[in-house]
């Protein structure tokens, strides 16, 4: 599917040429883990630039070597980057470098074999979530089930102002996530064709966690 042709309310496809170029290298099956990790970090910086475009600022008085002036700084509580374990770490680390003052939350979920429900096994977040802009990250939006469960848990702890950021999305995952959490905008670098029978994004890049951490 052409990314330009993809229009769905609340979904923003960031198809900058640099991002697309780096993504192509990440998709190649022979790209080694070390290169894959470097590229996901570089892409996270570019995506982070776009995702934070609307952060509020306030003017503060400063003194330059030349004169006094007022200049903008980020206002409000420090934002929270939420990493959905474990592949979320690939995006979260670059975003944290880009926004070093950000707080970082982690959420771990596993799928119960019988009920197929996403069960939370780990949650750690900063306080005052209701006053923070929360940037929830997972590189792959496949069925959308874990993103939906993660957002439900994060909202249940008070978060209100939330954006979801991924690298690749399947159309199925996008529409499931939009239906479940219509208040959460989704940013992605690409909308791929479909999911295969094993739940992998096609053409995709394989298992993002395995490729980041070299576990396969
Ligand atoms: N998770 C992955 O890591 N890759 C996919 O293609 C789908 C889900």
Ligand 1: distance of its center to the CA of 165 in Å?
A: 15
Q: How far is CA 178 from CA 77, 107, 135, 198, in A?
A: 26, 20, 16, 22
Ligand 1 centroid vs 53 CA: distance in angstroms?
28
For ligand 1, the distance from its centroid to the CA atom of residue 70, given in whole angstroms, is: 46
Q: With a cut of 70, say whether residue 4 has pLDDT above it.
A: no
Atom of ligand 1 nearest to the CA of 202: 6
Question: What's the rounded mean pLDDT across residues 76-91?
Answer: 96
pLDDT of residue 6: 66
Residues framing ligand 1 (Cβ under 6 A): 87, 140, 142, 199-201, 204, 207-209
Which atom of ligand 1 approaches the CA of 209 most closely? 3
140 Cα–ligand 1 center, Å: 5
How far is the centre of ligand 1, averaged over its atoms, from the C-alpha of 201 (Å)? Answer: 6
**Cα within 13 Å of Cα(77), Cβ side:** 16
Q: What is the DSSP letter of 215?
A: -
Q: Which of 168, 199, 213, 215 to mutate to test the pocket of ligand 1 (most atoms within 8 A of CB)?
A: 199
pLDDT for 114: 75
Enumerate residues 6+ apart whose C-beta is below 8 A from 163.
51, 133, 134, 135, 136, 184, 185, 186, 187
Q: Are 136 and 150 in contact (CB under 8 A)?
A: yes
Dihedral (CA of 33, 36, 37, 38) sign = positive
Task: Please tell me whether the overall predicted TM-score, pTM, comes out greater than 0.85 for this model.
Answer: yes
Report the pLDDT value the prediction gives residue 120, as an integer from 0 to 100: 94
Residue nearest to atom 5 of ligand 1 (CA): 200
Question: Which residues, in sequence order, are bridge partners of residue 135?
Answer: 81, 163
Helix (H) or strand (E) holding 180: helix 171-180
Q: CA 113 to CA 50: how far, in whole Å?
A: 38
> What's the topology of domain 3-213?
Rossmann fold (3.40.50)
Q: What average pLDDT does the structure give for the chain?
A: 94
pLDDT by residue (tens digit) across 111-151? 777 776 789 999 999 999 999 999 999 999 999 999 999 99
Q: Return the residue whose CA atom lies nearest to atom 2 of ligand 1.
A: 207
Best probe residue, ligand 1, of 207, 209, 214 (max atoms within 8 Å of C-beta) = 207
Of 90, 198, 208, 214, the one to substitute when testing ligand 1's pocket (max ligand atoms within 8 A of C-beta) is 208
Mean pLDDT of 163-190: 97
CA distance to 8, 24, 46, 154, 178, per residue, from 187 (Å): 11, 18, 12, 18, 12
């Amino acid at each position: 599917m052409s990314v330009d042709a993809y229009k769905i309310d609340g979904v923003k496809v960031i198809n900058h040429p640099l991002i697309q170029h780096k993504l192509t290298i990440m998709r190649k099956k022979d790209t080694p883990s070390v290169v894959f990790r470097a590229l996901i970090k570089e892409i996270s910086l570019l995506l982070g630039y776009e995702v934070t475009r609307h952060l509020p600022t306030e003017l503060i008085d400063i003194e330059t070597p030349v004169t006094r002036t007022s200049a903008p700084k980020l206002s409000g509580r420090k934002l929270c980057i939420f990493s959905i374990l474990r592949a979320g770490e690939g995006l979260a680390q670059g975003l944290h470098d880009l926004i070093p003052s950000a707080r970082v939350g982690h959420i771990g979920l596993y799928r119960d074999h019988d009920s197929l429900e996403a069960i939370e096994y780990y949650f750690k977040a900063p306080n005052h979530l209701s006053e923070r802009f929360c940037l929830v990250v997972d590189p792959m939006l496949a069925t959308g089930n874990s993103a939906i469960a993660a957002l439900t848990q994060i909202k249940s702890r008070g978060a209100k102002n939330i954006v979801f950021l991924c690298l690749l999305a399947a159309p199925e995952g996008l529409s499931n996530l939009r239906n479940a959490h219509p208040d959460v905008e989704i940013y992605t670098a690409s909308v791929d064709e479909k999911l295969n029978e094993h739940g992998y994004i096609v053409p995709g890049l394989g298992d993002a966690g395995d490729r980041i951490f070299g576990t396969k």
